[in-house]
Structure 1
Amino acid sequence: MTHTARRIGRTLALVLPVVLVLSGTLAVTRVNWAGTSDSQLLTASSEDVSVRAKPRTPQDVLRDALLVELQEKDPGTALTHLQREVERRPSLAQHCMSIARALGRAAVEQYGPVKAQSYSRPVCDTSFASGVAQES
């Protein structure tokens, strides 16, 4: 009897932690962490891991840098640097208007429409002013 009890105890000692870990893992994957009513489950996949982030385009890098500069300094400084970059790298000219509009929208968020409009200048065919007007 003692031998059988020991064998059952050892089996439980090995199996029980595995069962607890698996049931806990399954329970965590079923919890609605996002708090939405959607019952869709998100699971990790080896396919997702191998997907590389797309390289950032020069216009995206420039726009993000100018948006930071707008927040740290002012829209006028960001617009001046936009104009200089377009003159330095003409390939950015086709993106100048969209970058200037993004700066205009960000300026409204930070300074309000009246003050943001005061920074307006003829960079990229008044696209900055267009961005300000869109947010106003």
Structure 2
Amino acid sequence: MTHSTNHSTRPRRGPADRPTRRGRGPARRIGRTLALVLPVVLVLSGTLAVTRVDWSGNTSSTSALAASAENVSRRAPSRAPHEVLRDKLLVELQERNPGVALTHLQEAVNGRPSLARHCASIARALGRAAVRAYGPSRAQSFARPVCDTSFATGVAAQHS
């Protein structure tokens, strides 16, 4: 009986010792896709299920989703242009300085004459805000003859 010996220095590899094909193949791609898509689908379906439940206890036929959609479709009440301008200038006073805000107030009144009747009240509001932000003496240094010196009136009213 003859025995053959394997003189090879490499060990024999079985099927379990073979290297795997990493990152290739349709199964791996499908698994990755499911890992990304499945949590999103579950969250969305759970959110939709919760919005359809009537949590108020009423047995009315309208769903909570329909009720919330009605609330969203209503427009917020619009603000008057002088209120929008006043708020914008107050923010500008805080971010820059009262002089810039007063210049922009004068430009707004020149560009839109309908704002002229509100100019004095806006300038007084700017004067009061300037005193709160800068103190009375520094706020007074920004005074200009905008809207009949209403800014200075606002500074004086806030200081007294």
1:133, 1:96 → 2: CA distance?
Answer: 17
1:109 maps to which residue? Answer: 132
1:92 maps to which residue? Answer: 115
1:53, 1:129 → 2: CA distance?
Answer: 35
**RMSD of aligned Cα (Å):** 1.9
Of structures 1 and 2, the one scoring higher in RCO (CA 8 A, sep 6+) is 1
Task: Give me the TM-score of the superposition, normalised by structure 1.
Answer: 0.62
Report whether the alignment pairs 1:60 with 2:83. Answer: yes
Structure 2, gaps ≥5 residues long: 1-66
Alignment partner of 1:128 out of 151, 155, 158: 151
Secondary structure of 1:124's aligned partner: coil
Secondary structure of 1:130's aligned partner: helix
1:80 maps to which residue? Answer: 103
Amino acid at match of 1:58: P
Structure 1, gaps ≥5 residues long: 1-45
2:35 maps to which residue? Answer: none
2:121, 2:77 → 1: CA distance?
Answer: 20
From the CA coordinates, give the structure whose radius of gyration is larger. Answer: 2
2:123, 2:115 → 1: CA distance?
Answer: 12
Amino acid at match of 1:65: K
Task: Give me the TM-score of the superposition, normalised by structure 2.
Answer: 0.53
Amino acid at match of 1:104: G
More helix by share: 1
1:52, CA displacement in angstroms?
A: 5.9
1:125, 1:69 → 2: CA distance?
Answer: 21
1:132, 1:52 → 2: CA distance?
Answer: 37
Secondary structure of 1:123's aligned partner: coil
1:54, CA displacement in angstroms?
A: 2.5
1:54, 1:134 → 2: CA distance?
Answer: 32
Secondary structure of 1:121's aligned partner: coil
1:120, 1:54 → 2: CA distance?
Answer: 34
Secondary structure of 2:119's aligned partner: helix
